[in-house]
A = this chain, B = another copy of it.
Amino acid sequence: MSLPHALLTALVERPSSGSDLAARFDKTIGYFWRATHQQIYRELARLEASGWIESLPEETTRGRKRAYKILPAGRKELKRWIAEQEDLPFLRDDLMVRLWAEAAVGPTKLDKEIERRLKLHTERLETYRKYESRDYADAPTERDVALRHLVLKCGIRYESYWIQAANEALEILRSSSNDHK
């Protein structure tokens, strides 16, 4: 589970409130980890209870921004976690299940849904490419810049991967649905 440590990393970069973090998860961190604002608020409360972050003291809690900053213990925990062993991630893509099911009981209208998603993935790919030319136009010199650029490149590659898979699937679905008619 990576959410708490993703939040700690975001707080290393700068102290932030829950809504700040939610916005950054939408716009920046989003290409490799997602979180809703409810997850973020719950996790912030836990991180504070663990003594890894603290909220700048505010009496009122609802309705007003509440900025958190990372504590030394949180920074230490983050460093510990980074190199921790974890099980291998598996591909977990519902499209694969759908293709496999289509092989068993098709043909269906799956091609229409793939076309819809293809458009959205293509848009996302273009967004990422814009981020790349905006933020990483120069040849990287700093270690941290190179690492963050690599993360974005992986996001780009993942979208390309999906688009390629979708196009190959469409090719099969279309040719064989003609065969069947």
Contacts and interface: CB of A to CB of B under 8 A. Distances in A.
A100 interface: yes
Which size bracket describes the interface of A in this complex?
35 or more
Interface stretch (A15-23, A58-66, A81-89): A81-89
Contact of A100 (B106, B151, B168, B173): B151
Interface in A1-25: 2, 5-6, 8-9, 12-13
Interface of A: 2, 5-6, 8-9, 12-13, 29-34, 75, 78-79, 81-86, 88-110, 112-113, 116-117, 120-121, 124, 143-148, 150-151, 153-155, 157-158, 161-162, 164-165, 168-169, 172-173, 176, 179-180
A12 B104 contact: yes
A2 B143 contact: no
Contacts of A75: 105
A159 B77 CA distance: 30
Given A100-B9, A105-B78, A143 B176 contact: yes
A147 B97 contact: no
Contacts of A82: 98, 101-102, 105-106, 108, 110
Contacts of A124: 88
A13 B104 contact: yes
